[in-house]
Structure 1
Amino acid sequence: MKLPINPFKAQLAKREPQYGIWAGFATGNAAELVATFGYDWMLIDGEHAPNTVPSIQAQLQAVAPYGCAPVVRPVTGDANLIKQLLDIGAQTLMVPMVDTAEQAQALVRAMRYPPHGIRGVGGGLTRATRWDGVPDYLHTAHEQVCLIVQVESRLGVDNVEAIAAVEGVDAIFIGPADLSTGLGHAGNPSHPEVQEKIRHAIDATLAAGKVCGILAPREEDARRYLSWGCQFVAVGIDISLLRQAALDNLARYRDTPDTPAPSRTY
């Protein structure tokens, strides 16, 4: 059995726009439904959605037959959690709140086996090895893992050049909600100061020869960030899409003048 190809990493190498969707329902059934929509990639969220390692594995299994590449976001960059996620078959991780190059270097080590890292060996216990069905997995696994680090604070943006320069970091992902909040503009990622920081982070990432991504469910934001050089953009959130569709549907039948507008916090 061959080492499974990482479809997300392969897509990044094409240097073409990749449109993604956030998967927040934390079930295999919902993730499989989302995987049929035609998005290039989906983010299985373990930071803010109620996911566990077993529920993430169920979603990886559910979406495996489809063309929507899974990206897993752990709640933290803890090396032990990263080990578990890699062992259940996650190949692309997006780690939140990376503020320094030292943090990024530690994450690279957590993704790799010794002598280049500290990842523990699970062997036949792990889905990643197809239960020892992939020959020479220990020497080839690094070829198909992909590390995305999230820059979403003032400190992270200040250090983005050094973070992007870390060997083993494949991409930088910008988090507008946390960044805007940390800059004193909570709920307003469109504030000029926030936009200036986002543009700087994108430019620095591209200058380092790395790929940049961002979350932008509003079309005008997504198109602007794509024009600035972002390659992989999450243009929808499954929970938000369901909420808005349900509100719009009900408004057809009931006079609801106070129907909330789509959320701007992301």
Structure 2
Amino acid sequence: MTNLSTQRTRDFHAKLRAKENVYGVFIGSPNPVVLDTVNATGWDFAILEGQHSAMSTGDLAATLISLYHSGLPAIVRVDGHEPFAIAKMFDAGAAGIIVPMVETVEQAEAIVAATRFRPRGMRSFGPIRADLVGMRPAELEERVFVFVMIETALGMENAEAIAAIDGVDGIFVGMADLAISRGEDPLAAYTTDVAQKDFAYLRTVTDANDITLGAPAFGPENAAKWREFGCQLVTVGLESALLGAASRDALEFLKPGSTPVRDASSPYS
């Protein structure tokens, strides 16, 4: 019998491949209360933040186990290209991975190889999570979904060729680092017309290869804009940022002008 987690992962992948809009949040804490709250809200997915957070490999694996019991599909953003670290996230039950700073075809091919068993790839067989133990390699590969991050000028130059690689399932746009690589302000990258042009180009590239386009957003208005620009998979924020925004709104309602002044130009505010 198919368990809840596997079925929701299959349904989630089917939505992505059908280019349906899905919405989620980044999670930077393994706290079970946070995970329970996020799942109860009704998001389509979560992204576990393994790059820009203090979560260790052990934290990520434990969080995937916690989310298994709720069935919420969880993608992991890993912190590099190390192949066995990538494979370990799938061994622990990830519904997908996001790999940062992908700039060349060779890098993308190596990432795909880390997620596939021989003869196609180099992944070693050894599922960690209890519900995956006993699955055959082909069944485990069905759970794989690979996003590569295009977030540098070189990555943009090679985006067409990277998107055409068999096994790359989606492109996840990193606007801040893309701006830095061009010598631009990373905070302005979320508000300028450049983002719209980049999204339009990448949507053309992803549509041509029948893969998914995703991006991080900061707040529902920002997320709606990315949707208009052609993104199918959008995050609405980091869970701590959502908590901070709700806390500030509540306090401002009760004590106007009492919260710290924040930079209005920053999408992180």
Under a length normalisation based on structure 2, what TM-score does the superposition of the two structures give? 0.88
Deviation, structure 1 residue 195:
3.4
User: How do 1:24-39 residues align onto structure 2 when only pairs under 5 Å count?
Assistant: 24-39=28-43
Task: Name the CA distance, whole Å, in 1 between partners of 2:45 and 2:117.
Answer: 26
1:1-266 mapped onto 2 (5 Å cutoff) = 4-5=6-7, 6-7=9-10, 8-122=12-126, 126-127=128-129, 130-131=132-133, 133-134=134-135, 137-183=136-182, 184-189=184-189, 190-254=191-255, 255-256=257-258, 258-260=260-262, 263-265=266-268
* Contact residue 104 and residue 155 of structure 2 kept, 8 A: yes
The 8 Å contact of residues 65 and 129 in structure 2, kept in 1 or not, is answered as no
SS in 2 for 1:36: helix
* 1:90/1:128 contact within 8 Å kept: no
Give deviations 1:114-172, integer Å, cap 9, x for gaps.
1110011226xx227633x33xx123322221111111111111111111101001111
Specify whether residues 130 and 143 from structure 1 end up closer, same or farther in structure 2 by C-alpha distance, changes over 3 A only: closer
The one-letter code sitting in structure 1 at the alignment partner of 2:177 is: D
TM-superposed CA distance for 1:191, in Å, is 2.5
The letter of the residue matching 2:229 is W
- Determine helix, strand or coil for the equivalent of 1:106: helix
Q: Matched residues in 2 for 1:196 and 1:72: separation?
A: 27
The one-letter code matched in structure 1 to 2:185 is H
Are 2:51 and 2:77, in contact at CA under 8 Å, matched by a contact in 1?
Answer: yes
**Aligned partners of 1:208, 1:122: CA distance in 2, in Å?**
31
Any stretches of 5+ residues in structure 2 without a counterpart?
none
Partner SS for 1:229? coil
Change beyond 3 A, Cα 1:247–1:218: closer
1:74-121 deviations in Å (ceiling 9; x for gaps)? 111210211221221223111111111211111110001111100112
Pick closer, same or farther for the CA change 1:205–1:259 going to 2, 3 Å: same
| Contact 1:38/1:67 (<8 A) preserved | no
Structure 1 stretches of 4+ moved >6 Å: none
CA RMSD of aligned residues (A): 2.3
Q: Secondary structure in 1 aligned to 2:168?
A: coil
- What's the offset of the Cα at 1:192? 2.9
Closer/same/farther in 2, CA of residues 250 and 152 from structure 1, 3 Å limit: same
> Which amino acid in the other structure matches residue 129 of structure 2?
R
Q: Match of 2:202, as an amino acid?
A: A
On the 8 A contact 1:32/1:59 being kept in 2, the answer is no
TM-score, normalization by structure 1? 0.88
Amino acid at match of 1:180: A
Cα gap change, 1:13 to 1:196, in 2 (>3 Å): closer
* Per-residue CA distance 1:200-254 (angstroms, 9 max, x = gap): 2222112222111111224443223222321111123211111122222222344
Paired residue total: 261
Q: Contact (CA 8 Å) 1:104, 1:169: kept in 2 or not? A: yes
Q: Distance in 1 between matches of 2:36 and 2:103?
A: 33
Q: What secondary structure is seen at the aligned counterpart in 2 of 1:42? A: strand
Q: In structure 1, list runs of 5 or more residues that go unmatched.
A: none
Contact 1:29 1:62 in 2 (8 A): no
Q: Report the CA distance shift for 1:258/1:196 in structure 2 as closer, same or farther (over 3 A).
A: same
